[in-house]
């Protein structure tokens, strides 16, 4: 019986690599330049195909969340946010799901938000007109 070692997750602040504990091959990579989630080497030999989910960059925080979920769904590998590339840190703070949560929590509908934006635009235009006089 061959004992399978744990999968290896490596990161350097720019790129995340996930390597198979079974044979050491690369299962996945995430960076600003793109995403590669590969079949196992055995599956590649059997099917002649490498990619499960490959996408050219640039990547986003939303892509990072999708990458983590896909790795969990397909390989049962949980990737910690401690491996998240540094370039995503700023974007993470402005995740649209956070906005949806905030606005949902405050019970604003999309039409109400659009109305609020329009009211602010009118106020800004009025201010600018007064300022230019």
Residue 38 is inside which H or E element, if any? Answer: strand 34-38
For residue 121, what are the CA distances in angstroms to 59, 110, 112? 32, 16, 14
| CA–CA distance, 57 with 114 (Å, rounded to integer) | 31
Average pLDDT on 20-40 reads 93
Beta-bridge partners for 29: 17, 36
Predicted TM-score (pTM) of the model is: 0.65
- Name the phi and psi angles at 57, rounded to 5: -80, -175
- Mean predicted confidence (pLDDT) in 78-91: 89
For residue 106, pLDDT over 60 is answered with no
Name the one residue in this structure whose structure tokens are 């990737």. Answer: 79
**Segment (H or E) for 97:** helix 96-105
Q: Helix (H, G, I), strand (E, B), or coil: what is residue 26? A: strand
Q: In this model, does residue 93 exceed pLDDT 80?
A: no
């Amino acid at each position: 019986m061959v004992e399978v070692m744990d999968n290896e997750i490596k990161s350097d602040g720019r790129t995340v690599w996930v390597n198979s504990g079974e044979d050491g091959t690369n299962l996945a990579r995430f960076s600003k330049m793109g995403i590669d989630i590969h079949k196992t080497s055995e599956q590649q030999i059997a099917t002649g195909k490498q990619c499960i989910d490959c996408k050219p960059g640039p990547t986003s925080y939303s892509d990072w969340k999708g990458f983590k979920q896909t790795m969990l769904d397909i390989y049962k590998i949980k990737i910690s946010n401690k491996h998240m590339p540094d370039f995503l840190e700023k974007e993470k703070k402005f995740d649209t799901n956070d906005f949806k949560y905030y606005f949902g929590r405050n019970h604003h509908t999309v039409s109400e938000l659009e109305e609020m934006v329009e009211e602010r635009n009118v106020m800004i235009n009025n201010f600018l007109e007064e300022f230019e006089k």
